[in-house]
Amino acid sequence: MNYLIFSKRFGDLPIFSVNDVLKSNPDFDSKQLVYWQKKDYLQKIINRWYCFSDKILDERDLFFVANKIYSPSYISFESALGYYGLIPEGVYSITSATSLKTNNFKTPRGEFIYHKIKPSLMFGYNLMIVGNRNAKVAEPSKAILDFLYINSHINTLEAIEELRINRDAFKKLVIKKKLLSYLKLYGSKSLEQKINLLFKAMSYA
């Protein structure tokens, strides 16, 4: 397969793997990917995952990439909170929840951070459309719970207020009944206390 045919076949993908290529063409010589990488046609994201060097990846594309290179996982924590406009700061890494071990990948397309949570907590995400594909992104309520769950130091009203959560966005996006139903599944008294403080900070009765 020459590069022109290859780029037409895989060019619309934010990322693709060696396995994706071999499924499409079992006779493909994977050494060709290394050659095209040296020619700067391709960038290696992590081992066996590539993207086209000239392809612009927006935030949603990067969410898709994060899902793919370390699976199972879904976008959560700061990345999801920033995406929903719940926190004001720019988020420079893509943060995800995973049932695998905590991990961190620094790549040519940014840093991808994965925090381990219990397999029983791998729920509460939506499928976001990325082109003709989907990316798993935590619902607003789940992103908040995940974030407070892993950040043990955020345990006072002052610490929660320092997050500068957008009160209007919170009241618009967070369904209290759903958040509380998810909260029960964490089985964490400390998280319950944090949520009570959060409601107080948000004046959310």
Mean pLDDT of the chain: 95
133-138 and 110-116 as β-strands: parallel, antiparallel, unpaired? unpaired
Q: 18 and 118: one domain?
A: no
**The domain containing residue 100 runs over which residues?**
59-201
Q: Are 64 and 44 part of one and the same domain?
A: no
Residues 83, 148: one domain? yes
pLDDT, one tens digit per residue, over 80-90 is 999 999 998 77
pLDDT at position 177 over 80? yes
Residue-wise pLDDT for 54-85, tens only, equals 999 999 999 999 999 999 999 999 999 999 99
**Whether the Cβ atoms of residue 35 and residue 102 lie closer than 8 Å to each other:** no
Closest CA to 34 of 56, 21, 50: 50
How does pLDDT run across 96-112, given as a tens digit for each residue? 999 999 999 999 999 99
Weakest-pLDDT range from 50-54, 89-93, 182-186: 89-93
- 98 with 148, same domain? yes
The number of folded domains in the chain is 2
- H or E, element range at 82: helix 77-83
State whether 125 and 180 are in the same domain. yes
- Beta-strand relationship, 93-98 and 110-116: parallel
